[in-house]
Amino acid sequence: MKKSASVALAAVLLASGVSAAAAASHMSKTTAMAPSDTLNLSGTQQKEIWKDISRHASNQTAPSDFSAAVGTAIPSTLSTYPLPRQAARDVPAVKPYRYAMAQDKILIVNPADKKIADVVSK
């Protein structure tokens, strides 16, 4: 199904003057940005995320038995938010994710399954 959609998109773009290579490049960039349940940000990236998000975020109260860890689903009582544009510009890898702040940590959350992909502390 994905391959036929790629071929169809390439055919339409080719007919409109765009090369098949450019169409394939567009398709790979689109699918490469899908979020996963793990995101390994470097120390520098984590500092950028903290700087960009902490000024927008408010610390939410999580259930007492919740422990913020990669791979853990966030409780339904926590709200997630789109990442600020500046965070997505500074660290493009986080663009498809959402975030929540709890326990004085920024939780980078996969929106598909609400699992924590990375935890950023101050």
Given a contact cutoff of 8 angstroms between Cβ atoms, the answer to whether 42 and 94 are in contact is: no
Given a contact cutoff of 8 angstroms between Cβ atoms, the answer to whether 39 and 94 are in contact is: yes
Cα angle for residues 42, 46, 47 (degrees, 5° grid): 120
Distance CA 97, CA 16 (A): 33
102 CB-contact burial (10 Å; exposed 0-12 / middle 13-18 / buried 19+): buried
Structural domains of the chain, with CATH: 2-32 (no CATH), 43-121 (3.10.450.160)
What digits encode the pLDDT tens for the residues 51-100? 999 888 899 999 999 999 999 999 999 999 999 999 999 999 999 999 99
* Residue 91, pLDDT score: 94
What digits encode the pLDDT tens for the residues 3-22? 554 545 445 444 545 444 44
